[in-house]
Structure 1
Amino acid sequence: MKLLLVEDETDLLTEMEEYLSQQDYRCEKASTFATAEEKISLYDYECIVLDISLPDGNGLRLLDLIRKHHPSTGILIVSAKDSLRDKLEGLNLGADDYITKPFHLEELNARVNALIRRKVFKGNARIDVDGLCILTEAQEVYYEDRLINVTRKEYQLLLYFVINQNRVVSRQSIAEHIWGDHFDLADNYDSVYVHVNNLRKKIQIATGKDLIKSVYGVGYKWMRAS
C-alpha cells in the first residue's frame, strides 16, 4: 500500500517513514504544503497522513484537493491541537480519522491499517478473487488452500492489480506504486517487467489461469476469469 506522509517536523516525519516502511507500506514524504499539493495532484495513494499545521499553509486546505482528485483515498489527520473544534472541522471536510500528537507509532500504524482495510478492502482482512485468497494481515496468498510463495514486491503488485481490476495500469504507475520516491534509482522499466512476469508465472502455475495480460505499448491489465 502506498502512503503519503505530510508532516513538517523532520524527526517525526523520518520516524513515521522508517516505522511504516518496516510494516511493508510504501511511503512518500512531504514536509511543506507546496510539496504535498504537488504530490496529491500527480499521484495516487491508498492513505494520506496529513498534518494540519504546515509552514506554508493550512493542511485542512489540502482536504478539498484530496477529495477532488482521490475521493476514495483514506485521510488520517495528525495535529498537535487537541480541540474538539479542530477535530470536527477536519472530519467535516472529509477526513476519515484523527490522531493527536504526541502518539505512539504503533497506534499510528494500527489506525492506518484499519483505515486502509475499511476504505480499500471494505473492511475485509480477506480478499477472494478468481479463486485466489489474499490474507491482507498475514500478507499471504492461497489458491485452493495451497500457499503461493510470493515476494514482498510481488504481493504489493498483486494487491495493486486486484484494486485496479479491468483497468490498464501503465508501467510508470506500477513503478511509482512499488518504488515510490525511490523510482528514480531505476534506469528503466526492466524491474517492472521482471516482477510482473514472475508474479504472472506463479499465478498461472498455481491456478492454470493467465490473469495478467500485457497491453502492448502501455502496461498490464488484470483480467477477471470468465
Structure 2
Amino acid sequence: MKLLVIEDEIELSGSICSYLKRDNFLCDPVFNFNDAMDRVKARDYDCILLDISLPKNNGQMGNGLNILNELKQLGKADGVLIISAKNSLNDKLQGLNLGADDYLTKPFHLPELSARVAAIIRRKCFDGKNKLVADDFVIDLQDKIVKGEKGTIDLTRKEYELLVYFVSNKNKVVTKEAIVEHLWGEQIDMNDNHDFIYTHLKNLRKKLMQAGCANHISVIYGMGYKFNVGGNEKKK
C-alpha cells in the first residue's frame, strides 16, 4: 500500500516512514506545502498522512487544510489521516468536513498510527473488511497471511503486496507501470525493462496454483495484466 507522508519535521518523518515500512507500507515523504500540493495533483495514494502547519518554499507557512480542499476539488479518493500538534476542536471538525478520514494529535505512538492507517485503507479499499475472499483463497489483511485450499501460502513481502493489489483491482486491467509505481514508488526508475515484474508474477502464479488455486492472472497483450475472480480460468 502506498502512502504519502506530508510532515515537515524530518526526524519525525523518518521515524514514521521507517516504522510503516516494517508494516509493508511504501512511504513517499515530502516536507513542505508546495511539494505536497504537487504530489497530490500528480499521484494517487492509498492514504495520505497530513500535517496541518507546513512551510512553503518561500519561507511562509502553508495550511494543510488547503491540500485537503485540493483533493476534494480534484475528486480524489485518497484516504487522509491528519497528524498535527494542534488539538482544537475547530481544526478537527474543519479537517473532517473537508474529507479527512481521521485525526491524530502529536505526540502519538507509532503502532497506533499504523493501526489507524490500516483501518482507513480497509474502509476505503476493502469496505472495512479484515479478510478478502477471492474464489479459492483468503487474504487476512490483519495478519498479512494468505490461505488456499491446501493451507497457508508462503509469499514474500512483494508477492503479498502484489496479490493484495491485484485483488483490490480484480477483473480490471492494470499496467506494468501501475504495478511498478504501486509496489516500488520512486525507489526504482520507470523504464522499459520490467523483468523483475515478470519474476514476481511468475512466482506468485506458481505458489497460488501449487496451493490448489486457479490460474487467476492473465496477460492482456499490449496493455498489462488482469486478475480474474469469479469464473476463473481452469488450472493448467
TM bucket (normalised to shorter chain) is: over 0.9
2:178 equivalent to 1:173: yes
Give the letter aligned to residue 38 of structure 1.
Answer: D
Deviation at 1:196, TM superposition (A): 1.4
Aligned-residue identity in percent = 48
- Most deviating of 24-33 and 143-152: 143-152
Q: Specify which of 127, 133, 138 is matched with residue 132 of structure 2.
A: 127
2:7 equivalent to 1:7: yes
Tell me, yes or no, if the aligned pair for 1:209 and 1:225 is still in contact at 8 Å.
no
Aligned to 1:158: 163
- For structure 1, list consecutive stretches of 5 or more residues without a partner in the other structure: none
Give the letter aligned to residue 9 of structure 1.
Answer: E
C-alpha deviations, 1:49-103, integer Å up to 9, x for none? 1111111221111113323556432110011111111110000000010011111
RMSD: 1.8
Aligned to 1:116: 121
TM-score computed with the length of structure 1 as normaliser: 0.93
Give the letter aligned to residue 116 of structure 1.
Answer: I
Aligned to 1:17: 17
Larger Rg: 2
2:197 equivalent to 1:196: no
2:88 equivalent to 1:88: no
**Local SS of the residue matching 1:184:** coil
Q: 1:59 to 1:110 in 2, by over 3 A?
A: same
Instruction: Please give the alpha-carbon distance, in whole angstroms, between the structure 1 residues aligned to 2:115 and 2:121.
Output: 10
Q: 1:13 to 1:208 in 2, by over 3 A?
A: closer
Instruction: Please give the alpha-carbon distance, in whole angstroms, between the structure 2 residues aligned to 1:80 and 1:136.
Output: 30
C-alpha deviations, 1:138-182, integer Å up to 9, x for none? 111111261111111000000000111121111111111111220
Give the letter aligned to residue 32 of structure 2.
Answer: T
Tell me, yes or no, if the aligned pair for 1:10 and 1:31 is still in contact at 8 Å.
yes
Q: 1:73 to 1:200 in 2, by over 3 A?
A: same
- For structure 2, list consecutive stretches of 5 or more residues without a partner in the other structure: 57-61, 232-236
C-alpha deviations, 1:27-53, integer Å up to 9, x for none? 111112222222222222111111111
Q: Specify which of 95, 103, 114 is matched with residue 98 of structure 1.
A: 103
TM-score computed with the length of structure 2 as normaliser: 0.89
Aligned to 2:50: 50
Give the letter aligned to residue 206 of structure 2.
Answer: K
Q: 1:185 to 1:213 in 2, by over 3 A?
A: closer
